[in-house]
Amino acid sequence: MAETGTDIARAAALLRQGQLVAIPTETVYGLAANGLDEEAVLSVFRVKNRPAFDPLILHVDTLAKVEALVLDIPAAARRLAARFWPGPLTLLLEKSARVPDLVSSGLPRVAVRIPAHPLTTALLMQLDFPLAAPSANPFGYVSPTTALHVQEQLGEKIPYILDGGPCGIGVESTIIGFEEGQTVVYRLGGTSLEDIKSVTGTPRLCLNQSSNPAAPGMIKSHYAPRKPLLVGELDDLLARHPDRKIGLISFDRVYSNPAVVQQLQLSAAGSLDEAAMTLFGALRQMDKADIDLILAQQVPDTGLGRAINDRLRRAAVRQEEA
Ligand code: TXA
Ligand code: MG
């Protein structure tokens, strides 16, 4: 079991020794290591069982620290940073030689972000290195949004979890880069497309790629619970699977159907922000429930709804695999 608490000095001491600490952010919990220490970064990949071709995000608390990690910050990146940092936005920028190749998986750009969580900000202020931190889940599984989620899966493998309570946004950061002067969104997330658009104009979307550009399609599913999940119209899906023990994840409606053993509404009030916050917890709860098939519904495709729908699509299996 990992020790859990709010002791920033202890977290900082462990990180300085090259150990791993789970940290809260406004999006999801991260599995943090000294991002300039190759040995420490290697153990992040090991503990997560993550392939080395999937690069990590560096977390810092100031723009000055970002500047020390990259060669250049284009004007559009500066405008996005000024508007959304600290916050759920990650920028891909040309990396400086200070950043180990391991962090960026050998790519010329490194992912950086300034997260918005008081405990983690206080921790970063005490450190003279960035924290390399992927989401604190085994590779391929749903990201953790509470300290308990981290404890359940990685507790045996790490010494300390900094407990910052449940994550306020609940989906990972939006990832943005710049290609030939154009703004490109690589992952939908906690900063909405509408907000990005208001700063940079309409960005190009480059989504649904495997994280390994050299082997597209190798990673079949991501952000996925262990039980099969189907996404679609719930009435239709229920009619097609009458003989299964169903776990139902709806946006705001309640369904009455005898096959439904467990039912979770993401937001009874119909709030997409609340639905983003409750989504990953709901998927985890379904994995523990006495059901054998998860059915989920797409939410309205605006605001954080786009990130929710993206995660549901990635978590889903094909109809014939259900
Ligand atoms: O909200 C978040 O972003 C959370 C919190 C902990 O900050 N972190 C997170 O990290 O979601 P992770 O590693 O689970 O997902 C980051 C994704 C990677 O899967 C990778 O595909 C992409 O960011 N990425 C990182 N560095 C990259 C790079 N240099 N080029 C392209 N994609 C990159
Ligand atoms: Mg992840």
Question: Ligand 1 in contact with 133 (CB < 6 A)?
Answer: yes
**136 alpha carbon – ligand 1 mean position (Å):** 12
* Per-residue model confidence as pLDDT tens digits over 130-141: 999 999 999 999
**Separation CA 3–CA 161 (nearest Å):** 6
Q: Going by DSSP bridges, is the β-strand pair 131-132/204-205 parallel, antiparallel, or unpaired? A: unpaired
Overall average pLDDT of the 28-45 stretch = 98
pLDDT at 287: 97
Mutation choice for ligand 1 from 58, 102, 104, 135, CB with most ligand atoms inside 8 A: 135
* Cross-sheet strand order for the sheet of 204-205: 3-5, 160-162, 21-23, 30-34, 131-132, 57-59, 109-113, 89-94, 174-179, 182-187, 204-205
Measured by CA distance, the residue closest to atom 15 of ligand 1 is 134
Q: Which ligand 1 atom sits closest to the C-alpha of 137?
A: 14
Q: How many CB atoms sit inside 10 A of residue 241's CB?
A: 16
**Separation CA 186–CA 265 (nearest Å):** 28
Q: Please tell me the least confidently modeled range out of 122-131, 212-221, 298-307.
A: 212-221
Confidence of residue 208 (pLDDT cuts 50, 70, 90): low
Mutation choice for ligand 1 from 27, 57, 145, CB with most ligand atoms inside 8 A: 57
Confidence of residue 209 (pLDDT cuts 50, 70, 90): low
**229 alpha carbon – ligand 2 mean position (Å):** 19
**Separation CA 238–CA 41 (nearest Å):** 45
For ion ligand 2, residues whose CB falls within 5 Å:
135
* Per-residue model confidence as pLDDT tens digits over 51-82: 999 999 999 999 999 999 999 999 999 999 99
**104 alpha carbon – ligand 2 mean position (Å):** 15
Overall average pLDDT of the 197-201 stretch = 98
Q: What is the mean pLDDT of the chain?
A: 95
Question: Ligand 1 in contact with 111 (CB < 6 A)?
Answer: yes
Question: Ligand 1 in contact with 30 (CB < 6 A)?
Answer: yes
Q: Which ligand 1 atom sits closest to the C-alpha of 88?
A: 1
DSSP helix, strand, coil percent of the chain (3-state; round to 5): 30, 20, 50
**177 alpha carbon – ligand 1 mean position (Å):** 12
Identity of the residue numbered 244: R
Confidence of residue 216 (pLDDT cuts 50, 70, 90): very low
pTM of the model: 0.96
Confidence of residue 322 (pLDDT cuts 50, 70, 90): confident
Q: How many CB atoms sit inside 10 A of residue 116's CB?
A: 19
Question: Ligand 1 in contact with 93 (CB < 6 A)?
Answer: no
**266 alpha carbon – ligand 1 mean position (Å):** 25
* Per-residue model confidence as pLDDT tens digits over 219-265: 556 789 999 999 999 999 999 999 999 999 999 999 999 999 999 99
Overall average pLDDT of the 157-176 stretch = 98
259: helix, strand or coil = coil
Overall average pLDDT of the 291-305 stretch = 98
Q: Which ligand 1 atom sits closest to the C-alpha of 211?
A: 21
Question: Ligand 1 in contact with 104 (CB < 6 A)?
Answer: yes
